[in-house]
C-alpha cells in the first residue's frame, strides 16, 4: 500500500514538473498576442476586412520584402513600427499611428511583432 502511495506521489511530482516546464518561446505567437493588444484597433489582417484607421496588414510581409529602401523585410517592418512617419503608406496621413512603440515596447516585443508581421504574406 505504502509503495502505491509513493508511486502516486512520484507520478504527481513528475506530472507537475512537466506542466511547469517552460514552453518553447514562439515569437510569432507572442507577436500575434501583442498585435491583438496594440494594433488590431487600427489594422486588420484579413484581406477582405473593411478599411480601418490604418492600412490593412494582409500581405505586409510581401510589401516589406519589396521595399525600395534596400532594407530587409524585417528591418523595414521594424522601422514602420518605431518610426511610422519615416515613410508614409500611400493614402494615409501622418500622426495617426503612435510613434511611441520604440519606447513603450521592449526590444523582444518589437522582435515578436516583426516576426508576426513577417507571417502576413
Question: How many other C-beta atoms can be found within 10 angstroms of the C-beta atom of residue 12?
Answer: 10
Binding test (CB under 6 A) with ligand HEC, winner from 43, 45, 61, 112: 43
115 conformational bin, left if phi > 0, alpha if psi -120 to 50, beta if neither: alpha
Kindly state whether residue 28 participates in binding ligand HEC, applying the rule CB under 6 A. no
User: Closest CB to ligand HEC among 13 and 53?
Assistant: 53
Kindly state whether residue 97 participates in binding ligand HEC, applying the rule CB under 6 A. yes
How far is it, in rounded angstroms, from Cα 3 to Cα 7?
Answer: 6
**CA 82 to chain centroid:** 14
Question: How many other C-beta atoms can be found within 10 angstroms of the C-beta atom of residue 4?
Answer: 8
Site for ligand HEC in 47-66 (CB under 6 A): 53-55, 60, 63
**Rule CB under 6 A: which residues touch ligand HEC?**
38-39, 41-43, 53-55, 60, 63, 77, 80-81, 84-85, 88-89, 92, 96-98, 101, 113, 117
Amino acid at each position: 500500500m505504502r509503495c502505491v502511495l509513493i508511486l502516486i506521489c512520484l507520478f504527481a511530482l513528475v506530472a507537475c514538473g512537466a506542466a511547469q516546464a517552460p514552453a518553447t518561446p514562439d515569437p510569432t505567437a507572442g507577436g500575434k498576442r501583442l498585435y491583438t493588444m496594440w494594433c488590431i484597433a487600427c489594422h486588420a489582417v484579413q484581406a477582405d476586412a473593411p478599411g480601418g484607421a490604418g492600412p490593412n496588414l494582409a500581405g505586409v510581409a510581401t510589401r516589406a520584402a519589396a521595399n525600395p529602401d534596400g532594407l530587409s523585410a524585417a528591418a523595414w517592418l521594424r522601422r514602420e513600427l518605431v518610426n511610422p512617419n519615416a515613410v508614409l503608406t500611400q493614402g494615409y496621413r501622418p500622426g495617426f499611428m503612435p510613434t511611441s512603440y520604440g519606447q513603450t515596447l521592449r526590444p523582444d516585443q518589437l522582435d515578436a511583432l516583426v516576426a508576426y508581421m513577417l507571417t502576413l504574406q
